[in-house]
């Protein structure tokens, strides 16, 4: 009799593909949010948290580290791009790029913390299940 794999054992995607997926989905959500609302809103926050969980489930066990450091890097990278191109979407339009990044990160810090904790918690559960 074969053992049915659980949700925690399903992830088999290489780290590079998971990183590419995370960046692509995040940028798509940001573009959609800015087009619809004119700024980065709660929609981005909710999608970001869900994405962090999904990426942690999708990655193969040998690439846990890559996904473990990914959420803050994705958010920082996206906010740097926004600060350089459309600072009004994350801060005041007159803010400098550095100030816009800091403002954007502070306004969306709850989503960053929630997504990061969920990501690391999911990876920890997957690691524990893999060992047993």
> What stretches in the chain show pLDDT beneath 50?
1
Q: What pLDDT does 3 receive?
A: 61
DSSP 74-117: HHHHHHHHHHHH-GGGTS-TTS-HHHHHHHHHHHTHHHHHHHHH
Q: What pLDDT does 18 receive?
A: 96
Q: What pLDDT does 2 receive?
A: 56
Q: What pLDDT does 93 receive?
A: 93
Residues 6+ away with beta carbon under 8 Å from 29: 43, 44, 47, 48, 51
């Amino acid at each position: 009799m074969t053992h049915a794999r659980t949700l925690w054992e399903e992830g088999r995607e290489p780290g590079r593909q998971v990183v590419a997926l995370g960046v692509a989905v995040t940028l798509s959500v940001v573009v959609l949010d800015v087009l619809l609302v004119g700024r980065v809103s709660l929609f981005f926050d909710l999608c970001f948290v869900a994405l962090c969980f999904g990426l942690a489930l999708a990655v193969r066990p040998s690439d846990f580290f890559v996904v473990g450091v990914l959420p803050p890097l994705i958010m920082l990278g996206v906010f740097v791009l926004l600060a350089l191109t459309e600072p009004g979407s994350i801060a005041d339009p007159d803010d400098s790029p550095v100030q816009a990044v800091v403002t954007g990160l502070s306004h969306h810090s709850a989503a960053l913390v929630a997504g990061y904790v969920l990501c690391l918690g999911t990876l920890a559960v997957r690691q524990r299940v893999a060992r047993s």
